[in-house]
Amino acid sequence: VTDLGFAKRARTFAELVGAPLAIIEKRREANDDRAEVMNVIGEVRGKRAIIVDDEIDTGGTLVETTKALEREGAVEIYGCATHGVLSDPAIDRIRDSALVEVVITDTIPLPASHKLDKINVLSVAPLIGEAITRIHQGKSVGALFSSEMQRAQEMLLWSEDEEPT
């Protein structure tokens, strides 16, 4: 995780996939968009790393985190975020990085000029549709975000090109 404030959600994700947690300590100088990675807290040597963030804007934090994980010996590095803003120069940074894959949702449309083999876009439509159905049926919407709900987990893994299981 690239933000200490996001650590609790990252812990939940790590438990969901049965993985340990590492935290990237970073700082920003003034109001600058550039983040400086200070330390990797946790053992990543010889492991596959998944960088979890809420959004990817310019890709600076993602790529700096990737470099830090490489220095610490991670063998494969993936990124995922809810929102793929992907402002310039994010696409170039992702393309030129050691990232194996970056997974984002379609909360922000990905222009054709931003499509890369490394970027996988998952649709939030099934999740939103299920939430609307639950609201109309008077069922729990919160259950969609519970780690015990298998259907919610399956929906998170659907891609635009696949039918749900």
The catalytic residues are: 26
Q: Which residue has the tokens 């990237």?
A: 24
Given CA atoms 121, 20, 70, 37 in this order, what sign does their dihedral have? Answer: positive
Strand partners, 120: 103
* DSSP character at residue 40: E
Please enumerate in sequence order all residues whose Cβ is within 8 A of that of 16, keeping only pairs 6 or more positions apart, or say none: 147, 153
User: What are the counts of helices (DSSP H) followed by strands (DSSP E) for the chain?
Assistant: 5, 6
